[in-house]
Amino acid sequence: MTKIKHRIMTAAVAAACITTSHADGLSDSLPLGKSLAAGHELPLPIGISANVFFLEQDMEAQSIAVDIPPLPLPTGPLQLPPGLPAESAKLESRATSTTAKLDAWLLPFLNVYGVVGYVDGETTASGFSVGGLPPELASLLPNSFNISYSGPVYGGGVTLAAGYNQFFASLDANYTESDLDIGDSTIDAFTFTPRIGITGDLGDLSGSLYIGAMYQDVDEEQNGTVKFPVMGQAVPVGYDVVSEAEDEWNFLVGANFKASESWNYGIELGFTGRKHVMATINYRF
């Protein structure tokens, strides 16, 4: 997986460099409709970013099914039917995605972008139980387990922005897909983020502060095999878990710092039901 991750990030950097060489001419003509900005200073039209996004949230299980092989009981192996329904009192998800982003201001108020990168994560199921088992058999199974995963992530989005004097507002919407390294597991996510803020100077620093909220519609389907300790033996148990985000909204605060006309840095913190941290380095030309 380390080699695959390295290749993906290398390809992303190479694609960005090739795109940059062809984008020099575009930077002179974009954004279209500059007159719509009514004399306001516009950012350089094309940007390349490196982003790290950490997310921690509770998930809500839509369905959980397990395939338990013959259990090594003292009385002999016990064969159970496949696809046994199971429940989990709590599903917790933690994931870190590292992505490269290429964006362009097509209009003074419209930015479009694409992202490619890699995600590493873990889902923890606690209060786990399998339905229909007698108590003496259910007691042999663990009541929690972890699923670790990784894989490429890709997608795109649009941002609408407007400003008045030093104040600004933006609406960002994007869709991403992740193909995970366990079975046919996938994560599909649609994100919608409104933000409002203020720009200005603080000493030698120039940048902006903002607040906002983030809506996420996250659908996860994970299937594979996890080892359960049963009577001193590691028993491979197949699982199929379909889940979605428990909290669709969270609040956020953030800041962007302008080091020069081309270089920008950003940090964002999300809180309440879902927590996230995002760090960004952006180069514009």
The CATH code of the domain that includes 99 is 2.40.128
Residue 27's domain comprises 2-284
- Length of the chain as a residue count: 285
What is the pLDDT, as a whole number, of residue 12?
46
CB 254 within 8 A of CB 267: yes
Total domains, the chain: 1
Give pLDDT < 70 ranges for the chain.
1-27, 35, 37-39, 76
Q: What percent of the chain has pLDDT over 90?
A: 68
Sequence-ordered list of residues with C-beta below 8 angstroms from that of 168, at least 6 positions apart, any chain: 161, 162, 196, 197, 198, 199, 208, 210
pLDDT at 133 (0 to 100): 81
| 37 CB-side CA count, 13 A | 18
What are the pLDDT digits (tens) for 178-229? Answer: 999 998 899 999 999 999 999 999 777 899 999 999 999 999 999 999 999 8
- Whole-number pLDDT of residue 37: 67
Q: How many CB atoms lie within 10 A of CB 1?
A: 11
- The DSSP bridge partners found for residue 80 are none
For residue 39, what are its two tokens? 């004399």
